Every structure is written in structure tokens, then in C-alpha cells.
Structure 1
Amino acid sequence: MAGGEFELIARHFSAFGRGPGVVLGVGDDAAVLSVPEGCELVTSVDTLVEGVHFPEDAFPEDIGYRCVAVAASDLAAMGASPLATTLALTLPEADDFWLHAFSEGIGQACSAFHLPLVGGDTTRGPRTISVQVFGVIERGRAVRRSGARPGDAVFVSGTPGDAAAGLAVLQSRWQPEPDHGEYLLGRYYRPTPRLVLGVQLPGIASAAIDVSDGLLQDLGHIAAASGCAIEILAEQLPLSAALQSHPDRQQQLAWALSGGDDYELCITLPQDRRPPGGFTRIGSVREGQGVVCEAAAGLEQAGYRHF
């Protein structure tokens, strides 16, 4: 790599490492983080591969922003506050223009989500990006997938389906009017991890998950972990005006229920509790197993498959 690995890191990434929980960041063998007394460390890692998780011609600034946002969404689902992040970057070559734009996106996301970049690795190979995030939560308060119970209500944040519709626009499978197209592409390239909502969930939500592989598939993980069934009422799904501009109602539902990549939060709550603002009720938990959505027959097992 031009200038060497350490010069590359110093030039493009070392400025993003300051934060209240960072004792030692980029530049040593390992980072040192401070976890507040009475808290537990929450961590997750996501890997994005060029041509699989983002198009080969995607603008590198958007790729950088997206890879941090995707990983940060897992912290939101657990109810954790962000602490820090690391980046492992595999590149076919040290393209300075690409790296500069990519690092701009990384910096924007680290700032927006309060995730200082404290370390990582670089190597040569097919373009692959792995982001590990760290968060903190009061001991014993992490929101899990396994707490849903029959009688709970099911809620989702935001408007699911937008990112899948944005991908359809990107792949020229749909051409909405320009304002709607710009909105949907933004929802694909620059998702918003619901960290502000997530930290309000401990003590309120019985279960939570972020919507990465499709609403039906991800709710299936809650149903399986909790040993119950979940019924979704498609007519209650909150759909954006941009998504509803598509003329085919079944296609709208397919994107909302099985498209994935929205990084919204889906939660279950006991009937005597109310969600934070920003959530819409879409169904209920009941006895049984699996996910049921009568208005979307054939989509229950759909969603993103990694293999």
C-alpha cells in the first residue's frame, strides 16, 4: 500500500478516535476503553463485502457511513449507549481518492452516532469492511430477543421497506419521481440506527431486534427465541409516501415485510406499557410458533439469506 499501512491509518482514520470512554485509541497494539461502574460491555461486528452488501460503483463516502450505521443498529436493539468502534479494511489497492472519500463517510457516522474509532486493521484483498461496535448498558438491563410473551403488542420504528425500494431504484427495477427516488436511495445508503430510541427500551420492551434481513425474518428470530408466535397485520404497517407511490400494493408489502436493510427497531411490549415516540403498532404476540401475516402469503420465510 502506498506509504505503508501505518501512514494510511494515520492519514485517513486517526482523527476519529476521541471520546469520553476512550483511554487509549489508535496507535498502540490495542485500544483501552473505560466502562462506567455498574455497566456491562455490549459488542457486535458486521462485515460488508463489495458486490454483496453494497454495489461495486457505490460512492465510497456512502459506503463508509453505511458500514458504521449498520453495525451501530445492533447496539440500539440491545438498548445500549455507544462507546467506540473498530474498523478492519481489506482493499485491492491503496487508492488515495477512494480512501479519502471513504474516511469522510466514516468520520461523519462516528460523529453522528458518538462512536469514536479506536483501532482496526488494513490488508490487501477483495474490498471487505468489518466494523465492530462497543456499547455500554446498566448491568442486567440489556434487551434480548427472548422476552416476548403471549399478549404482548408488536411495534416497529420508522417506515420499513424504504431501503429495499431504494435498492430497486438503484438497480433500475423501478423509476419513481425524482423526490421519492432521492429519499429512497438515501434510506438505502444512509440508514439511521435508532440509538436514541434504543436507550429508552430497557425496562419497557420485553424483546427487541433490529430489522436487517427483513421484518418477517427478523421477527421470526424473536418468535423462536421467545417460544411464541407473532401475528403481523399488514394494513397497520407504516409505509412512507415514497414507497406508497409504487403502483403495486403487493410489491409495497413485499419490500416492507421481507426487503431488509432498514435498520429500524422491532419490539414487543406488555399491554400495560407504551413505546417511545416513533413506534407504530403492527401486531401481537400469541401462543404458538413462527410469524403469521395473512395479507402476505408466501413471504413468511422470505428475507435476506447470507448463504
Structure 2
Amino acid sequence: MRIKEVGEFGLIERLKNVLSAEIIGDDTAPVKHGKSTLLLTTDTMTEGVHFLREYLPEAIGWKAVSVNVSDVVANGGYPKWILVSLNVPEELELTYVERIYAGMKRACTFYNCEILGGNISKLEKVSISLFLVGEAERFVGRKGARPGDSLFVSGTLGDSRAGLELILMNKKEYEPFELALIERHLRPTARIDYVKHIQKYANASMDISDGLLSDAWHLSERSKVRLNINTEKLPLSRELKLFCEKYKKNPLEYALIGGEDYQLLFTHPKSSWNPFLDMTEIGSVEEGEGVYVDGKLTKPKGWKHF
């Protein structure tokens, strides 16, 4: 059997069995250290898979940090320390690498964390792997969703996928709303403003990196509950609506299966609603299993590595 036959998450399950590691299955690995909980995570961005060489190097650096910070934030923690493993072709311009690191430094300043070192090696394509250590007062993973909870998301959904499609159009000129969508793909911002809310109220939480439907299935399976999503409640940005109107697309498809939004998907009782955050109630949690959209059972759909 080949990897492409089981996919990314099938491979993860098989490796979990090899390692006999029950801790694997959340955005981060929580490790008790004294009175605090350390959150360990790692992520890789590879040229041709996650970005193109012609992208602004500063944006690549910013995103490399942000996607890791998003994992820590999703589990109720703040980012602290980073190690960077950089693989680059030997003919690559030195200034290109310096600009990537300038983008990472800018992101670290924004998120109040720091890069402590790492490793550099030769490779035919640019590849950046970050190992991030965060810290949390209370770890909130995918496992705690309870029947009776409401299902929430932060921000808006589908913008990043629209931004990527616009980049790939390689147009000479873009409208202002198109540039805004491109920016959301190139420079996502991890929702660090939600950490205290997640720590205090959330029963289950994760970030939306592969797409709402795909990630909702992960939460459903981990918590062993049924999730109900109401498409009328999905938060759509004005820019996404304009994009879909212009290019004759369905905005709900982008919101449901568009990846790399790095918003948060979390559950808690409706009574814990915070009116000062841009959170939207998109559904509910019930006893059972699976993810239902407008009452119909769905399949996991979204970004796949294999």
C-alpha cells in the first residue's frame, strides 16, 4: 500500500500505532513542565507545495511563523520560542534568505516570541520547517466538545483560497478587493487575540488550516460527537462575495472547503459568547458522530497533501 492510498491522516494514524502515542492528534503536543503546560508544534512550508519562489520572501517568512503560532493559539497558548530548519539551493541569492528571515523576525515581534537558532542544509527547493514551543495555563484540544455546545468560528472563511486563485491567475492588474484577498493568503494572522477566550471557555478548539469541513471532521472524530453546520450562518467577507460574483463562484464552497484561513473552530455553551470578538455561531454539537451540513451528512473535503 502506498502513501497516496491512505492520505495524510491515514499515514498519521499508522504512525501513531507504530509509536503507541495517544498524545498525537491535536494541533500541538501538550507536555507538563512544572506548573505550566508546554505546547510543542512543528510545520513545514515547501516551495511548489505551499508557496512559489516568486512570492515576496518577507511574506513567506511571516506565514511560516504564523501557521505555527496558529496551532499554539488554537490550543489556548501563547508562542514562546522557535527553532528554524532551512533547506535552500546553493545558487539561491543570499538576499532572498535574508528577506525570509526579516519576515520571520517581523512576525515574532508581532506575536511576542523569538527565534533561538536552528539548522541549515542544501536542497533543490526552498523548504522551511519551524519547531515552536508555546505555553498555556490550560490545554484545550479537539477532544472536549460536548453535546449542547454551540459551534463557533473566528473571522471569515474562504478568503485564503480565493487569494491563491487570484495569484495563480497572474493578472497584470488587480482590483482593491482582490489585493485584500491575496494579502490574506500570503500573510495570514494567527488569532492570538482569542487565547484568553479559548483558555477560559472553550471545551474543544483547533485551527482551520485544511478547510472547515475537513477540520470539523477531525474535531468530530476526536470528541466523538456530531457537528451540525448551518451554511446560512457561515461568515463571508465582502471581498469574497465580490470575488465570487465577479468570477461566477459559489462562496459557500470556498467557506466550507477552502484551506489556509487559519481561523479558529471551537465549541462551548452559547452563554459564553464574547461580543468583543469577531466570533460567529455556525452550528451545534449533538450526541452521535459525523459532520452534517444543513442536515445532510458530509464527507471530509479540503486541502490534502497526498
TM-score (norm 2): 0.83
* Shift in alpha-carbon separation, 1:157–1:210, aligned structure 2, 3 A: same
Q: Are positions 1:227 and 2:224 aligned together? A: yes
**Amino acid in the other structure paired with 1:279:** M
Q: Distance in 2 between matches of 1:124 and 1:186?
A: 30
Question: Paired residue for 2:255?
Answer: 256
Q: Does 1:281 align with 2:278?
A: no
Give the aligned partner of residue 119 of structure 2.
121
Which of these residues, 162, 166, 171, is aligned with residue 163 of structure 2? 166
Q: List gaps (5 residues or longer) in structure 1.
A: 1-34
Size of the alignment, in residue pairs?
Answer: 270
Secondary structure of the residue that 1:213 maps to in structure 2? coil
1:99 aligns with 2:79: no
CA contact (8 A) 2:46 2:126 kept: yes
The residue identity in structure 2 corresponding to 1:182 is L
1:249 is displaced (CA, Å) by 7.6
In 2 relative to 1, CA 203–170 (structure 1 residues): closer, same or farther, beyond 3 Å? same
Query: What secondary structure is seen at the aligned counterpart in 2 of 1:171?
Result: helix
The more displaced of 94-103 and 216-225 is 94-103
Q: Is the 8 A contact 1:212 1:262 kept in 2?
A: yes
- Could you tell me which amino acid in structure 1 is paired with residue 303 of structure 2? Y
Give the match for residue 237 of structure 1. 234
Structure 1 residues 176 and 238, CA, compared in 2 at 3 Å: closer, same or farther? farther
- TM-superposed CA distance for 1:119, in Å, is 1.4
Structure 1 position 284, deviation (Å): 0.5
Secondary structure of 1:58's aligned partner? coil
The alpha-carbon deviation at position 289 of structure 1 amounts to 1.2
Give the residue type in structure 1 aligned to 2:84: L
Contact 2:291 2:297 in 1 (8 A): no
Relative distance call for 1:299 and 1:255 in structure 2 (3 A) is farther
Q: Secondary structure of 2:136's partner?
A: strand
Identical residues among aligned pairs (%): 36
SS at 2:188 equivalent: coil
How far off is 1:271 after superposition? 3.5
Distance in 2 (CA, whole Å) between partners of 1:175 and 1:57 is 15
Other structure's SS at 2:198 match: coil
Match of residue 86, structure 1, among 59, 83, 86: 83
Equivalent-residue separation in structure 2 for 1:187 and 1:37 (angstroms): 38
TM-score where L is the length of structure 1: 0.83
Q: Quick one: distance in 2 between partners of 1:286 and 1:173?
A: 45
Of residues 207, 211, 217, the one that matches 2:208 is: 211
Cα RMSD of the aligned pairs, angstroms, is 2.2
Query: Residues of 2 paired with 1:173 and 1:97: CA distance?
Result: 24
Whether contact under 8 Å (2:78, 2:135) holds in the other structure is: yes
1:269 is aligned to 268
Q: Which residue of 1 aligns with 2:8?
A: none
1:257·1:299 contact (CA, 8 Å) conserved in 2?
Answer: no
* Corresponding letter in the other structure for 1:239: L
Is 1:62 paired with 2:77?
Answer: no
Counterpart contact for 1:77–1:265, Cα < 8 Å: yes
What residue in structure 2 maps to residue 17 of structure 1? none
Aligned in 2, Cα 1:148/1:298: closer, same or farther, shift over 3 Å?
Answer: closer
| Contact 1:81 1:135 (8 Å CA) reproduced | yes
Structure 1 residue 255: deviation in Å? 1.1
Secondary structure of the corresponding residue to residue 51 of structure 1 = coil
Partner SS state of residue 186, structure 1: helix
Structure showing the higher helix proportion among its residues: 2
Moved more, 281-290 or 66-75: 281-290
